[in-house]
Structure formats: structure tokens, C-alpha cells
Amino acid sequence: GPVDIPRAIDNLAARGVDMLFTVGGDGTQRGAYALCREAARRGLALAVVGIPKTIDNDVAFVSRTFGFLTAVEEACKVITCAHTEAHSVRNGISIVKLMGREAGFIAASATIASQDVNFTLIPEVPFALDGEGGLLAALTRRMQARGHAVIVVAEGAGQDLLGGGEERDPSGNVKLGDIGLFLRDRIARHFRDAKIPIVIRYIDPSYIIRSVPADAEDSIMCDLFARNAVHAALAGKTGLVIGLMHDTFVHVPMEALAARRKRLDPAGEVWRAVLATTGQPARFA
């Protein structure tokens, strides 16, 4: 939630803290940048160094945040179960909603890793439900041909279909509509109107995909980020986040990071891999 910046700096100064490591995503690092500016305004010797930690992998200038691969691994386990459910009944459809408010990295990567997903929906790629080129028509063709389907949807996908407003939570994030439940109900109604019997399983693992110990690769990555952060702070540097680009740790000014957000590129290699894996069109329109 929101932080009283002057009060936080007062507290750090009173306790004699001269190094502050902020571990979190872009929201955390924007808060850290505000702390850094307030400390500089007061002439306080405070090194503020950010460490990018988020399962969403949406921090700019960081090719991979630690926590991401662990979440993808857990998401794959959920998808395996969803596929088993869909494949075990006639005309079974499993819908899995995964985290990803504004970026679809988890949904896309879990799709590629699992190879069991037929449709993937992410915030970066708008989609239509109705019409010959819409999702419902494609899903109908899939069911007629194969008799089962698995759909993975990032929580921030399709928000334009829900008619949501601009209401925000205490952290300043726009409150999302529930795209998973919306899809479940629309799909059920579509097949009911078409008089095609289906069995829908809706699975929302929510925080479970991140509520696990880090895997080995994330644990190693965490250690390397931490070492680089401590070295930067001991060298007297401040107002930076440890980045990772082309397998090299770099110092990213917090100001640059705060002004930019990382998103999955719909024209990039990862999304092309998703399309190849699922067989879905580039757009449902």
C-alpha cells in the first residue's frame, strides 16, 4: 500500500540505516525511487538499491526476475491437471486463470513449457469472443475436431470485454474484473445455445503458484542479484536497481525503470512460440 515517504525517511535516519535494499517489482522500485529522492533532498547518506523480485517478470531492463521460473513450474503442474480433467470426459473444457495483471509472461511461458494448452489469452493481445474469427468459433471447431480443450488466461486479459472502470486498490492498481469466471459463463452459454453438451472445469490457482520454495535456478539467481546489490551499496551507489541484460548484471537508474514497464511483445519470439504450441491464430478478431 501507500507509504508516508517523509516519515519513512525519518524512521531510517533515527535508526542509523545507511543502506536500504528494496526487494520487489516495479511498484516497489517506484516507491524506492521516492525514498531515494527524499533522502537526497535532505542530504542524508542513504544508499537505496533495488533488487527485482516478482513472479510476473515485468520489470524493465531485467531479462528475468527471480521467482518467475518457480511460478511457471507451478503453473505447469496446474495445467497438467487441467489437461487431465478435460481429456478425461467427453467434450471437456478446462480454463486456467494465472497471475499477470498487465503482462502475460507466466501464461505464455507455462503454455510453451507444458505443450498441453490450446488457447492462451494475455493482456497484450486483445481478443474478440464472437464472430467467425472470434474465440468461441475457434473453440467450437476445436471441440468438434478433438473433443477437449485447455484454455489459459492471464488475469489481466480481456478487461475491455468486462466493461471495468478505473477503481483502484490501496496500492494504486486498477481493480480487475474476473476474466476467468466471465469466460467460463460465456463459453457455457455459447455451447448451451448451440445444443452441444460440454463439461467445464474452471481452475484458479491464484497465489498457490508463488507460495512455494524457490526452485534451484531462482535460488541461484536470487543469490547473484543480492551479491551485486550489496557490492553496489558498499561502493556508495544509490538510486539504482540491479538489472540483468544479456547474462550481465547492470545498474539501472531507478528513474529509468520507474518510467518504463516491461510487456510481452506480440511480434516477438515468445508469442510466436505460443502460437506454434497452441495452433491458435495470431488474433481472435
User: Quick check: 49 and 17 in contact, CB under 8 A?
Assistant: no
Instruction: Find, among 220, 117, 106, the residue nearest to 154 by Cα.
Output: 106
The strand pair at 248-253 and 240-245 is best described as antiparallel
User: Quick check: 154 and 126 in contact, CB under 8 A?
Assistant: no
Tell me the C-alpha distance between 206 and 169, whole Å: 18
B/e letters for 184-216, b = 16+ CB within 10 Å, e = fewer, are: beebeebbeeeeeebebbbbbbeeebbeeebbe
Q: Where are the beta strands (DSSP E) in the chain?
A: 19-24, 47-52, 92-98, 119-121, 148-154, 199-203, 240-245, 248-253
18, 26, 56, 185: the active-site residue:
56
| Alpha-carbon dihedral sign for residues 156, 141, 188, 197 | negative
Tell me the C-alpha distance between 123 and 158, whole Å: 7
Active-site residue, 56 included: yes
The catalytic residues are: 56
